[in-house]
Amino acid sequence: MERAVLVAVSIRGDDSTLSPDESLEELGELARSAGARVAGSLVQRLPRATHTYVGKGKINEIMRLCEERRATTVICDDELTPTQQRNLENGLEDIKVIDRTALILDVFARRAQTKEGRLQVDLAQNEYLLPRLAGQWSHLERLGGGIGTRGPGETQIETDRRLVRNRITKLRKDLDDVRRHRGLYQARRQENMISVVSLVGYTNSGKSTLLNRLTGAGVIAESRMFSTLDPVTRKVVPESGREFLLTDTVGLIQKLPPPVVAAFRATLEELSESALMVHVVDVAHANAAEQAQVVDRTLSDLGLADKPRILALNKSDLLETDAEVELGGTVSRLLTEQGNAVMVSALSGRGLGDLLEAIEAKLEATTA
Predicted TM-score of the model (pTM): 0.81
Q: Measured between alpha carbons, how far is 96 from 263 in angstroms, rounded to an integer?
A: 26
DSSP state of 139: G
Q: Measured between alpha carbons, how far is 300 from 129 in angstroms, rounded to an integer?
A: 28
Chain centre distance of CA 269: 16
pLDDT of residue 110: 83
Residue pair 272/304 in contact (Cβ under 8 Å)? The answer is yes
Closest CA to 132 of 78, 84, 171, 167: 84
pLDDT of residue 334: 61
Q: Provide the residue type at 131 as one letter.
A: P
Low pLDDT (below 70) residues in the chain: 134-155, 186, 189-191, 217-230, 266-267, 320-340, 367-368
Closest CA to 312 of 285, 288, 282, 289: 282
Phi, psi of 107 (to 5 degrees): -65, -45
pLDDT of residue 146: 45
DSSP state of 143: S
Radius of gyration of the chain (CA): 23
Closest CA to 206 of 355, 308, 324: 355
Q: Give the DSSP letter string of 54-82.
A: S-HHHHHHHHHHHHHHT--EEEESSPPPH
